[in-house]
């Protein structure tokens, strides 16, 4: 069975006082997950905002990926558990 789908991912970047923060939101249509990442510019570093964006976004992606895998493993375990649940047959009335 062929199947296609599309999930939306939005990345939000914020910079304040030498810290770049990223928030990445995945919307599957039925589930929404949010990953977070940060990057701190050290005093000895050259201030290149794009590098902070890349690091913070990459960390948000890693966080989001970990959450997505956890969700998948939890869902898989729930499906497996429900398939192991014994199904009872209706009993025939005595008589």
CATH class of domain segment(s) 8-81? alpha beta
Residues 6-54: tens digit of each pLDDT = 999 999 999 998 899 999 999 999 999 999 999 999 889 888 999 999 9
Q: Which sequence spans correspond to the domains of the chain?
A: 8-81
Contacts of 27 (CB under 8 A, 6+ apart): 7, 8, 9, 10
Dihedral sign computed on CA atoms, order 13, 14, 19, 22: negative
Question: According to the model, what pLDDT value does residue 85 have?
Answer: 67
Question: According to the model, what pLDDT value does residue 88 have?
Answer: 64
Q: Which of 95, 30, 39, 26 is nearest to 66 (CA)?
A: 26
Which residue is it, tokens 């902070």? Answer: 52
Look up residue 26 and give its two tokens.
């995945």
Reported confidence tier of residue 70, pLDDT bands at 50, 70, 90? very high
Q: Averaged over 47-76, what is the pLDDT? A: 96
pTM to 2 decimal places = 0.81
């Amino acid at each position: 069975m062929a199947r296609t789908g599309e999930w939306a991912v939005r990345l939000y970047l914020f910079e304040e006082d030498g810290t770049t923060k990223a928030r990445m939101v995945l919307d599957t249509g039925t589930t929404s997950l949010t990953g977070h990442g940060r990057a701190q510019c050290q005093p000895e570093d050259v201030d290149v905002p794009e590098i902070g964006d890349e690091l913070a976004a990459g960390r948000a992606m890693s966080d989001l990926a970990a959450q997505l895998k956890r969700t998948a493993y939890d869902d898989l375990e729930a499906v497996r558990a429900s398939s192991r649940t014994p199904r009872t047959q209706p009993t025939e009335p005595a008589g």
